[in-house]
Structure 1
Amino acid sequence: MEHIALYRAWRPQSFQDMVGQQHIIQTLQNAIREDRVSHAYLFSGPRGTGKTSAAKVLAKAVNCERGQGPEPCNECPSCLRITAGNVMDVQEIDAASNRGVEEIRDLRDKVKYAPTEVRRKVYIIDEVHMLTTEAFNALLKTLEEPPPHVMFILATTEPHKLPATIISRCQRFDFRRVSLEEQTGHLKQICEKEGISADDDALQYIARLSDGGMRDALSILDQISSFTEGQVTYQQVLGMTGGIPSEQFARLARAILEGDMGLLLELVEQLMHEGKSADKCLENLLYYFRDLLMIKMVPNADHLTDRVLNPADFKDMATAFSREQLFGIVETLNRYLGEMKYATHPQTLFEVALMKLCSLQESASVPADAVISSGAFQGAAAGGAAASDPDELGVLKKQIAALEKKLEQALQSGGISGGREGAQARPASVPSAAPRISTASKMPPQVDKFIAGKDSADFASIYKQWSLVLQGVKEEKITVHAWFVDGEPVSVMEDAVLVAFKNTIHRDTTEKPANRQVIEGVLAARLGKPYRLVTIMLRDWNEASMKSAEQPGKEELRLEHEHEAGAAKQEPWIDEAIQLFGEDLVVIKE
C-alpha cells in the first residue's frame, strides 16, 4: 500500500482529534448543538495549527446526514465524500492561486444556486489575505448577506492584512501554537499506533523545533523515523535536524566564561566538521543564552526554555554568569546574527562573535580601581564610568590650561561686563570662569592651503560629483550616510577633501575610523583617485575664509555704530572677550 505522510494520515477528522484548540472546539460545538452557526468564520493563526482541518470538520458537522451534532459521524456518505473532497457543494479555494476579482465574481455568481448534494454550501478560502483589494471589494456584499444555504470559512496566517470591513463581517477565531506538553503527548500516541519506538527526549526536542505547529512536528517525525527504521533517539534527531546538543552549548559557554579563545575556536572547528552551518550555530547559541537568562531570572522556567531540555541541570551555568553579562551576550549575539545574513564568510563572523564575547568577559573582570582617573574625572571613575584615553586627556588638560591663561590675561587688562544681566566680571582666580571645551572647534592642519584651493578646478569637479559620492556611501552603509549627509565639500588640497559640518555629533561620528574607511573607499571609487577625508565645522570654515579675505592694505568698508567703534579702539580687551565668549554672551556697558 502506498505510504501516506504522517501529517496527512493523522489529519483531524473530528473536533476531538484536534490538539491544543479547546477554546475554539467548544465554541463551535455549542453553536452547532444550539443551531446558532454563523454564515461567515475567520480562522487565523500560525501555520500547522489546524485552521483548514477545523474548517473541513465544521463543513462535515453541518452537513452530516445523521443530523447536526457536536461531532460529525464520519460514516455517512456525506461525511465520507467531504473527507475525500468529492462534494461539489463544499469547495476549498486557494486564494493564492485565485486572487483576482474575476475568480471572486465567479464565486459570487454561483453562491445564489441551492446545493445539490448536501444541506449547506461551504466555501473554505485558504490564505485569504492573498486576495487583491478589488477581489475583497467584490466579496464584501456577498459575505455580509449570503443566501441562507451558504457558509464562508476564511483561513489566514496574516489577519492584519485583511481589510477591517472583511473582519467585521466574520466571527473570528484565533488558533494558538500547540503547547510543548500537548505536542509531546500527541506524538507519543502516534508513535504507539504507528509502531515507532521513540525516546521521550527525542519527541520533546521535535516538539521544540516545530515552534508550536503540529504539522511541522509530524513532518519531522516522519522524516526521522524513515531514516532510523522506526528507532528514534535524541542523538539521531540532532543529527538529522542539524541541532546541537545542550552539552556542547555548555562547553561553549564555559569557554566564554573562562576567556579561553583557543578552546572556543577548536569547538567551532569541530562543529563545522560535523556539517553544522555557522548561522544556525549562532542562532542556537543565542537561544541557549536566552534560556540561561530565563533560568536565572524566572523561577520554575522549565516551560520558557527552548534549547535546554532539563533546566535544573543548567542552574550552575546560569549562576556562573551575572545578569549584566547575560544581557550583554544576548545583545552581542543578536547583533552579529543580523549581520551574518549579509556575510560572505559566516564561519569567520561566528568566530569573531565568540572572541568578542571573550573580550567582553575580560573587560568585565578588570577591577574598578584600575580605571584611569584624573582631576575632574575622578568622581565619574569612582562611580564606575569608563575613563577617557590618556593621550586625549592630556590634550584636553593643555587646552584648558591655555584658555585659563588667556582668560587671566584678559581679566588683568580690565574688567569684563559679561552676561545678559550686565553682571561684574569674576576675579581671575575663580575656577568657574574657565569656558567649557568643545572638541568641535578643532581646526584641521594646513587650513590655509584649503582656503587657497576652494576655487580650484579640482574642487569644482568634485563638487559636481558629490551627489554620486553620497549615493555611493548610502549603498555601502546607510547608517554612515545618515551622518555624512550633514556635511558639504568646501575645498580640496592634493589628496584631501575638506568637508564642513553644521552639527558636532555628525562630524564626530563621521570621524570614527570605521566610518572614515567607508567614506574614503567611496571617494576613491567615485572620484577616480584616492582622497583623504578632512573635516571642519562650517562656522570655523566661514570664519577662516573671512579672515583670509581681509588682505593688508585693503580698507574694508563696514557700517558700525560710532560708540562701538570708539569703544573697540579704546578697549582692545573687548575683542578678546567677544572671541572667547561670543557676541551673544557679551554686553558692553559704559
Structure 2
Amino acid sequence: MAHIALYRAWRPQTFHDMVGQQHIVQTLQNAIREDRLSHAYLFSGPRGTGKTSAARLLAKAVNCERGPTPEPCNECEACKRIAAGSVVDVVEIDAASNRGVEEIRDIRDKVKYSPTEVRRKVYIIDEVHMLTTEAFNALLKTLEEPPAHVMFMLATTEPHRLPPTIISRCQRFEFRRVSLEEQAEWLQEICRKEGIAAEEAALVYIARLSDGGMRDALSLLDQISSFSDGKVTLQEAIDATGGLPAEQFSRLATAVRDSNASAVLQEIDEMMRAGKSADKCLEQLMHYFRDLLLAQLAPSASASAGRIASPAELKSMAQGFPRERLFAIIDVLNRYQAEMKYAAHPQTMFEIALLKLCAGESAADGGAAQGQTAAASLLSPAAGGADVQQLQRQVAAMERKLEELQRSGAALPAEGDAGGRSGGGSAVRGGGGWSGRGGSASGSSGAPKVARQRIKLDPFVASRSSPLTLQALGKWPQVLARVKEERVTVHAWLVDGEPVAYAEDTVLVAFRNSIHRETTEKPANKQVIEKVLSAALGHATQLATLLQKEWQEALADGSRAQADQPEELQLGIDGGGAPPGEPLVEEAYKLFGEDLVVIRDE
C-alpha cells in the first residue's frame, strides 16, 4: 500500500479503530448487544474526531449479515457495499449543500417504505446545523415517530445551532479531541505499517498542529511524507506546513522580553523572506506566548497542551516574563490578529504589534516610576507640607466649583479646562449623569483631538426597563442584519456592543472593548448605524456609546441614589405603588406603566 492518501486508507473500519472515543464505542456496542438501539443519534464534537465514521460503522453493524453485531465483519456483501456507498437504503446527506425543506420532505416521504437490500434504513445527515428552519420543522415529526425500520444519525460541529426540539429527540454523544499521546502513538503505528521513517519529534509536532483531530493529523502526515519522500523529520515537517522552528520563537520572545526592536524587525524580515504568512506567524506566536503562560500557571498540563515548543524550553523561557506581562502580550496579539483580517498590509500590522510589545511595557514602567516618585516627593516630610497644603486647597476649590455647576444645571467644563480633568482618561458619573472620554492632547505639537460628547446617563438608567426601551432593543437583531448589509466592516465592530437603554430618541450601546467602541464612534461608521436605527424605529434616532464597566458603575450609582431616597419616595420609584386610597392611580399604572404616569398635586 502506498503511503499517499493515508486518511482514506486508515479511515476506521471497525469500532476498535476509533481512537480516543472509547466511551462512545462501548455505549454503542452495549446498545447493539442488548437490542436497545435508538431511532435517532446526534454525534457532535470538533472536526476530524470520527463523527461520520462512527455513523457509518453503526450502519454497518446493524445491517451486517452476521448481526446485528458489536463489530461489523467487513467481509459480507452488506458491509462491503455500505463501505462503498452503493446501498440505496443507507443514505448519506451533506446538509451544507442540501439544506432546503424539499430535500427533507423527500426523506419524510421515503422513510415509510421498508428497506429493500438490508435490515434497516439509515439516514446519515452530516453538518446538520446547516439545515434551514423550515427543513428542521419538516424533520421534526419524522424524528418524533419514525418507523421501526429507520435510523437517523445526525453529525454536527455546532450543536448549539440545532433547535432544542431536535436535540431532545436524539441520543447525543459528544466526541472529544484526541489526546496528544494517543495521536502520536497512532501515527507511529501507521508509519510502521506503511514503511515511513519518522522522527518521534516530528510526529509530536504533527499531533500538536492537528489540535486533537485525527483526520487533520493523517492529512498532515500524508502531506509531509510526500514532501520528504517517505522520511519525516522535524525540520521537514516545519517546512512543509509553513510553520516556524521553536528556535525562532525563542529568539522573538527574547527580543520582546528585552525590548529589542531591532532584533524583532530582523526576525520578521527573515520570516517574510522565507515566504511565511504574517497572519499565520502572528497566530503561532500567540500560541507560543499562551504556552509560556501555561508553563507558569499549570506546569503539569503544559506537556500535553503546548503546540510549539517542548515543555523544558517553555519552562526556561517563561521564567523571564512576569505573569501580568504575558497576559498583556496575549491580549495585544489577539487584538491585532482580529484587525489583521481587514488590513491591506498584514506584514505592517504584524510589525506594529511586536514593536508595541517592545515599547509598551518600558513606557508604562517609566510612567509608573515617575508617578511613584512624584507621590513620594509630595508625601515625604522633606517637602515641608507646603506643597501638600497647596494641593489640598486647589482640590477643595475644584470641588466647590463642580458643586456650583451641578446645582445651576450648567454643562460641566471640558476636559483640559481649569475646572476639569486634563488628559485622555475616561470619566463616568452615574449619579451626576454624565459619561465621557477625554479628547484634548497634551502639548502643542499635535492637533488636538475632538472631545467626545458627554452623555447624561440618568435618563437611560431611569428608562432601562421602560416599554419604549424594550421595543427599541427588540429590534436590535434587525439593526445588526441591516448594518451588515450596508457595510460588513461596521457590523464587525458593532457586534461587540450590547444595547442597554433607550431615551430621548437615542439608543445607548455598551461595548466590552474600547477599540470597538472608538471605531464605531468614527463619523462615517456612526452615520451608517444611525441611518439604520432611524429606519428600524421609524424616526430620527441617534447612537450613544460607552463601555460596559461605565454602564455598570452608572447602574450602581443609581441604585445607591435610590436607596438614599425617603421611604415614601421609594414607594413610587420601586414598587410602582400609588398613594393609599387612590384606585385610579393604581389602574393607570397597570394600563400605561409607571414610567409614563406622572402624579401632580393640584
Q: Is TM more than 0.5 here?
A: yes
Shift of 1:379: 6.5
Q: 2:12–2:53: 8 Å Cα contact kept in structure 1? A: yes
Counterpart residue type for residue 137 of structure 2: N
1:327 aligned partner? 327
Q: State the shift of 1:98 in Å.
A: 2.2
What is the 5 A alignment of 1:63-82? 63-82=63-82
CA distance, structure 1, for counterparts of residue 301 and residue 209 of structure 2: 18
Unaligned runs of 5+ in 2: 381-386, 408-417, 423-433, 441-485, 498-507, 528-602
Distance 2:314 2:492 in 1: 41
Query: 1:438 is matched with which residue?
Result: 420
Within 2, Cα distance between the matches of 1:377 and 1:73? 85
For residue 338 of structure 1, report the CA deviation from its aligned partner.
1.6
Question: Residues 246 and 307 of structure 1 are in contact (CA less than 8 Å); yes or no, is this contact kept in structure 2?
Answer: no
- Sort the Cα spacing of 1:356 and 1:193 in 2 relative to 1 into closer, same or farther, 3 A: same
Helix, strand or coil: the match of 2:42? strand
Q: Paired residue for 1:273?
A: 273
- Give aligned pairs, total: 432
Alpha-carbon distance in 1 for matches of 2:325, 2:234: 31
Deviations 1:164-188 (A, max 9, x none): 1111111111111111111111111
Match of 2:551 in 1: none
With 309-318 and 16-25 compared, the bigger mean Cα shift is at 309-318
Letter aligned with residue 127 of structure 2: E
CA distance in 2, matches of 1:153, 1:273: 49
How does 1:137-536 map onto structure 2 within 5 Å?
Answer: 137-363=137-363, 366=366, 370-371=370-371, 378=378, 400=394, 403=397, 437-439=419-421
For normalisation by structure 2, the TM-score amounts to: 0.64
1:529-544 equivalences under 5 Å are none
Task: Indicate conservation of the 8 Å contact 1:64/1:72, yes or no.
Answer: yes
Q: Distance in 1 between matches of 2:152 and 2:491?
A: 50
AA aligned opposite 1:351: E
**1:386 match:** none
- Deviation string for 1:152-209 (max 9, x for gaps)? 1111111111111111111111111111111111111111111111111111111111
The CA distance in 1 between the partners of 2:491 and 2:379, in whole Å, is 41
Deviations 1:319-377 (A, max 9, x none): 11111121121112112222211222221221111111111342355496543665899
Kindly tell me: are residues 322 and 373 of structure 1, through their superposed partners in 2, closer, same or farther at Cα, counting changes over 3 Å?
A: closer
**Residue aligning to 2:50:** 50
Determine if contact 2:61/2:71 at 8 Å carries over to the other structure. yes
SS for the counterpart of 2:314 is helix
1:241–1:520 Cα change, 3 Å: closer
Secondary structure of 1:36's counterpart equals: coil
**SS of equivalent to 2:181:** helix
3-state SS of 2:299 partner: coil
Aligned to 1:39: 39
**CA 1:141–1:262: 2 relative to 1, 3 Å:** same
Distance in 2 between the 1:20 and 1:477 partners? 37
Work out the CA distance in 2 between the residues paired with 1:401 and 1:94. Answer: 70
**Structure 2 Cα separation of the partners of residues 87 and 517 of structure 1:** 59
By how many angstroms is 1:27 displaced?
0.1
Contact 2:238–2:244 (CA under 8 A) maintained in structure 1: yes
CA positional deviation for 1:253: 1.1
Any idea what the Cα deviations from partners look like across 1:362-416, whole Å, max 9, x if unmatched?
A: 2355496543665899569xxxxxxxxxxxx9xx979939958x99xxxxxxxx9
- How far apart in 1 are the matches of 2:262 and 2:159? 49
Q: Secondary structure at the match of 1:186?
A: helix
Identity %: 62
Mapped contact 1:305–1:311 kept (Cα < 8 A): no
Aligned CA-pair RMSD: 4.1
Q: Which amino acid aligns with 1:438?
A: G
Letter of the 1:55 partner, please give it: A
Corresponding residue for 1:20?
Answer: 20
**8 A Cα contact 2:519 2:525, kept in partner:** no
Deviations along 1:34-73, whole A, 9 cap, x unmatched? 1111111111111111111111110111111112221111
Query: Which stretch has the larger CA shift, 3-12 or 66-75?
Result: 3-12
Contact 2:198–2:233 (CA under 8 A) maintained in structure 1: yes
| Aligned-partner Cα distance in 1 for 2:395–2:298 | 54
Q: 1:28: Cα distance to partner?
A: 0.1
Unpaired runs of 5+ in structure 1? 381-392, 408-415, 420-435, 445-470, 483-502, 524-590
Q: What per-residue deviation string (whole Å, max 9, x for no partner) do you get for residues 241-288 of structure 1?
A: 111111111111111122211111111111111111111111111111
Tell me the SS of whatever aligns to 1:330: helix
What secondary structure sits across from 1:172 in the alignment? strand
Distance 2:68 2:491 in 1: 64
Which amino acid in the other structure matches residue 313 of structure 1? Answer: E
- 1:452-505 deviation per Cα after TM superposition (whole angstroms, max 9, x unaligned): xxxxxxxxxxxxxxxxxxx99x969968xx9xxxxxxxxxxxxxxxxxxxx9x9
Task: Evaluate the alpha carbon distance shift between residue 141 and residue 368 of structure 1 in structure 2; reply closer, same or farther with a 3 A threshold.
Answer: closer
The CA deviation at 1:97 is 2.5
Residue identity opposite 1:295 in structure 2: A
